[in-house]
Structure 1
Amino acid sequence: MSFGSRARAAMDAYGPACIGIDPHGALLEAWGVGDTLEGLDRFAAACVEAFAGQVGFVKPQSAFFERFGARGVAILERTLQDLRHTGTLTILDVKRGDIGSTAEAYADAYLDEDSPMAADAVTVSPYLGFGSLRPFLDVAEKNDAGVFVLALTSNPEGPEVQHAASSSGRTVAGDVLAALRAANEGATPMGSYGAVVGATIGETDEDLDVNGPLLAPGFGSQGGTVDDLRRIFGDVAHLVLPSTSRQVLSAGPDVDALRAAAVAVNESLQL
């Protein structure tokens, strides 16, 4: 099954919430496990136990594992391997973007089924030109994986690039969305190439219907609400994966409490 088909099935089975796995230092300390490699290991194991087969999507943030070096990356690899094939889809948040053979190497690292760090989908940056992402799209198609492309992010610096006018007459974000729409053309029940559109971006006139999933970070503790999602996404709300981390992870380290918090987020998402 394509990633788009698997994503639709996961949304229907579990709900659309995407739970961020973000082991930043303050959270590890709050859990009482310590901002150490051992603490990271305990955190990751608890998240796997709580979420595997219980939610549709999880989004590990690679940077919080990478800061521990090779041993942290090994924990990330094991986390991805333990989560996959449980009904829960992994979206590895790495926001990579490069050209040529380097982009292909990144794509192979994260999307090739035989890679030790293989995820179901990955986040990428299009700001070397959307065409630079072709290796990611090609490797994703070959491995029934997905790609989420930054389009309208909610960080305050984003609009200076994303809202800028391009030579097409659209905004830069509009060009990204149009390219995704073309890449997903004809796919059912939806395409495998999605956009990242923040849940706190405010108003937008962009056409968000890319016939693919829309990853919406910023839901929950970062300020995004169900009303914001309805307002921003309107008729394409059924394609949205609202992403939250702190709202759920603050319930840890108790596994049952983590799972209950994730379930509660899904129950709140009547879009």
Structure 2
Amino acid sequence: MRAPFGARLTESVAARGPLCVGIDPHPGLLDAWGLPRDAAGLERFALTCVEALAGDIAVLKPQSAFFEAYGSRGIAVLERVIAEARAAGALVLLDVKRGDIGSTMAAYAQAYLGEGSPLAADAVTLSPYLGFGSLAPALDEAARTGCGVFVLAMTSNKEGAAVQRAVDEHGRTVAQTLVDEAAACNSGATPLGGVGLVVGATIGDSGLDLSRLNGPILAPGLGAQGAGPADLARVFGPSLRHVLPTSSRDVLAHGPNPEALRGSALRVRDSLAAAR
């Protein structure tokens, strides 16, 4: 069996630097690259990203929705992206934000984390807002196959605060409850547990105690959404060493030339490494 995700992520970041690049084939980016808004344009866009980035960047994060929008042909492209990125040495974090209960959650887990599934990635994003316990099938499958999960905890969209910052009868925010649940899953893992969190890089003072998490933190919002390396230090403090910043549009705007795309990602990566 392969090493647990926390160990593989730690090794990849040490070798390649602390950056996750999103592969987001937004229609506007297809236009900017001079590509058609169809499955052929999607394929050209996504595989150019893999060609440019998978050999140097620690983690690539395809956004599943942009592939699903093209039906079965889009899913076929996503399968190629996952396989080719992993073959080139990158870890693949599939951004699907799934959250359900019982057998449905188990089916999602098999699809995205199951050994031998054509859509199986190294990690996935999950939504816990049917209760953290509803994620158990995915957590169990991830542990069995050496994969990771990133649970939405405190996101940067303004609507999220109504739920995530709500306080329970013990005075804990919902987000802190999720942090504590994830920390319990990661207890005793070395060098890092495989249950990560998603915490937006632009949220400012989160009020979260991340000190016992012992897991990775995916921090979207770098670049186009306004966050820079200094913001990461302010938001995450001593937990910065476990933060995996993610950038999409700022890097992808430099396509379709693969060398320009790679150069942009490496500059972002190096600026993050220097700020740690």
The aligned counterpart of 1:160 is 162
- Report whether the alignment pairs 1:106 with 2:108: yes
- Secondary structure in structure 2 of the residue aligned to 1:157: helix
Pick one of 242, 247, 251 that aligns with 1:244.
247
Question: For each residue in 1:181-229, what CA deviation from the matched residue of structure 2 results, as whole angstroms up to 9, or x when unmatched?
Answer: 1000011111011000000001122112311110000111110111110
Distance 1:76 1:167 in 2: 43
Structure 2: gaps (5+ residues)? none
Q: Give TM-score scaled by structure 1 length.
A: 0.98
Q: Which runs of 4+ in 1 moved over 3 A?
A: none
Deviation of 1:48 (Å): 1.1
2:21 alignment partner AA: I
Q: Identity of aligned pairs, percent?
A: 56
- Secondary structure in structure 1 of the residue aligned to 2:269: helix
Distance 2:187 2:127 in 1: 21
- Report whether the alignment pairs 1:259 with 2:262: yes
Distance 1:225 1:193 in 2: 25
Pick one of 134, 137, 140 that aligns with 1:135.
137
2:215 alignment partner AA: G
Correspondences of 1:62-211 after superposition (within 5 Å): 62-209=64-211, 210-211=213-214
- Secondary structure in structure 1 of the residue aligned to 2:158: coil
Correspondences of 1:228-243 after superposition (within 5 Å): 228-243=231-246
Deviation of 1:168 (Å): 3.9
Deviation of 1:87 (Å): 2.1
Q: Give TM-score scaled by structure 2 length.
A: 0.97
Deviation of 1:45 (Å): 1.3
Pick one of 36, 40, 63 that aligns with 1:38.
40
Distance 2:45 2:175 in 1: 36
Distance 2:32 2:209 in 1: 41
How many residues of Structure 1 are paired with residues of Structure 2 in the alignment? 271
Distance 2:267 2:123 in 1: 24
- Secondary structure in structure 2 of the residue aligned to 1:266: helix
1:153 alignment partner AA: T
Pick one of 52, 55, 79 that aligns with 2:54.
52
Distance 1:248 1:259 in 2: 8
1:62 alignment partner AA: S
2:28 alignment partner AA: A
Deviation of 1:86 (Å): 2.7
Deviation of 1:35 (Å): 1.3
Deviation of 1:113 (Å): 2.1
The aligned counterpart of 1:8 is 10
CA RMSD of aligned residues (A): 0.8
